[in-house]
Chain A
């Protein structure tokens, strides 16, 4: 009976291996039309921007070199990491397969496609991490698949980048609570110790 269970289990595992190695054709970033949209992102002030406070002035319009314009249904504007913020951080890695790509996780705005130039005043969200960024706009067709894009930086992602400093998330009240509870724990321990020593002395004097 045990043999049957082991056999069945190993069959199941083999089956799962087969399923997991099946290949599907995925949509690639390199297939998208580059520079179809002209995107600019202008910070509201000089220097490092503060998350939750500072703004970006974002504009996008159709580029003269675009060819797939007929398919554009929606424009998705996203905040993307510059290469320097991706170093030693595999969870922000750029991948060619679009569904695997993690370099543009922060959504800015999604709008239906309009021929006229568009703009948006974006206040940096409070959960944006510290890092260096640029803005990318994807043109999406009716099926929800990306067909083209444009970005505020060059192809090497080295120009017109801007830096953001995240909120710390710390609060004075939290720091005070930490100190209080810690002191309480240690004091309680000392009280117990002293009490035990006292009990031992009483026991000894009996």
Chain B
């Protein structure tokens, strides 16, 4: 599968100040690939893609390994509905903090080291799940294993470093979508592994414990693959480039400041909380919902629950690709409109899901809903790479963290204990989704416009916007060159159909 961007034609293939490097794929001024070849593992672009999505997939499998086995675990550990709710909240709350930190860590150390370090240090939490004996133990292992979801930020950062503007939405969407697939795959994998182990002779309450070694081992080995075969940037690894003086180390404080003072990052964080946050919540509750409400057995409930997450295979990438397609014709305004419409429709479908009493109806609506909500996630990260260049990591981290905050809040308000039935909780979650998607209308880029306004009459250019993040002193030291190159390639966000004042 090939996705062509237009950057390769209009951009110059300038040689870098160091040695001339040749790449398997066509590249732009920053040596980022302008095309996306799915079945290639060519160094460094496509290899980085495959390593990062697979590592993220393994982390998702581990984080959501418990929910499909909850009907067994809740009896072994004598859990109450409150305990289960708390564990669900814990599983997504750890990574709120981790995602924010991961953004900065990527800016400073590079996505390869940052992500592998996180994955290897959270693997013990998955292994120790085999030995827990109380509700507290359960909450703790879910909390610490959940930190690994921060590899999402490193995935997006890595893709944004390897792929150029016209294809970055697609690259981000496919990598994240295939990672999120883990949340669905685990609902199939864990009950299957559990029943195989049970058939080998283990008691129920031992078999689920042994099952947890599978996601743990996958997580460990995916991190090894990233460390051994991955590369931070098209031109090399951070450590090699730092020392060779090619990549200047930026000041942490400045990077963070420019990130958090950009209001658009906060809006994307909130909106992402109600597409990705909804997806995480559903991953946590859907298997139990089908098991309890429709009296299904563990494996059947797991299969249905899995189909929600498995839609990620094409739904989230579809969102990213749609974002890029809309940008080609309508520029950034197209990205924003498509995002808002799809996310709002996702909320409507979520609200209807809770109202349906029949099994078939629930499955059909759930499947349609899953496509819309996951596409919204892809559409979000079609916009995020353009919000800031200097603080890309921080913005990605904030948005990613916002996704988890949404999941935490939603589970806290609607899915803890026995206050609301699960059906009511799902409906209310849908309504909250619709409300929290409205701020997308407020995102405005002076050089491209927003949903309801065109570009600024003051004729602001892409260069003005991105270089505003650097002081004149920093510019004098040539620290802004990366942003300069990015500004040049981002001119494609003006779109084709509009009569942009400067084209």
Distance from B231 Cβ to chain A, minimum over Cβ atoms (Å): 12
- Report chain B residues within 8 Å CB of A88: 80-82, 417-418
| Docked-complex contact B81 and A19, CB < 8 angstroms | no
| Docked-complex contact A181 and B220, CB < 8 angstroms | yes
Distance from A132 Cβ to chain B, minimum over Cβ atoms (Å): 11
Q: Does B182 contact A (CB under 8 A)?
A: no
User: Using an 8 Å CB-CB cutoff, how does the interface string of B43-80 with A read, 1 for contact, 0 for none?
Assistant: 00000000000000000000000000001001110101
Q: Per a CB cutoff under 8 Å, which of B76, B128, B292 touches A169?
A: B76
Q: Does B130 contact A (CB under 8 A)?
A: yes
Q: Does A142 contact B (CB under 8 A)?
A: no
User: Using an 8 Å CB-CB cutoff, how does the interface string of B178-213 with A read, 1 for contact, 0 for none?
Assistant: 000000000000000000000000011110111001
Q: Per a CB cutoff under 8 Å, which of A13, A17, A169 touches B203?
A: A169
Interface residue SS majority, chain A:
helix
Q: In the complex the two chains form, what is the Cα distance from A168 to B116 in whole Å?
A: 34
| Docked-complex contact B81 and A90, CB < 8 angstroms | yes
| Docked-complex contact A188 and B203, CB < 8 angstroms | no
Q: Does A66 contact B (CB under 8 A)?
A: no
Q: In the complex the two chains form, what is the Cα distance from A184 to B208 in whole Å?
A: 22
Q: Does A129 contact B (CB under 8 A)?
A: yes
Most buried by A among B76, B80, B368, B418: B76
Q: In the complex the two chains form, what is the Cα distance from A127 to B204 in whole Å?
A: 6
List CB contacts (< 8 Å) of A155-198 with chain B. Answer: 166-171, 174-175, 177-179, 181-182, 184-186, 188-189, 192-193, 196-197
| Docked-complex contact B220 and A17, CB < 8 angstroms | no
- Report chain A residues within 8 Å CB of B291: 91
Considering the complex, give the chain B residue whose CB is closest to the CB of A202.
Answer: B243
| Docked-complex contact B217 and A178, CB < 8 angstroms | no
Q: In the complex the two chains form, what is the Cα distance from A131 to B75 in whole Å?
A: 9
Considering the complex, give the chain B residue whose CB is closest to the CB of A184.
Answer: B220
User: By the criterion of a CB under 8 Å from any partner CB, how many residues of chain B are at the interface?
Assistant: 56
- Report chain A residues within 8 Å CB of B244: 203
- Report chain B residues within 8 Å CB of A178: 124, 127-128, 130-131
| Docked-complex contact A185 and B120, CB < 8 angstroms | yes
| Docked-complex contact A203 and B127, CB < 8 angstroms | no
- Report chain B residues within 8 Å CB of A89: 74, 80-81
- Report chain A residues within 8 Å CB of B204: 126-127, 169
- Report chain A residues within 8 Å CB of B130: 170, 174-175, 177-178
Q: In the complex the two chains form, what is the Cα distance from A17 to B413 in whole Å?
A: 27
Q: Does A109 contact B (CB under 8 A)?
A: no
Q: What are 5 A-B pairs at a CB distance below 8 A?
A: A12-B364, A127-B204, A168-B133, A181-B124, A181-B220
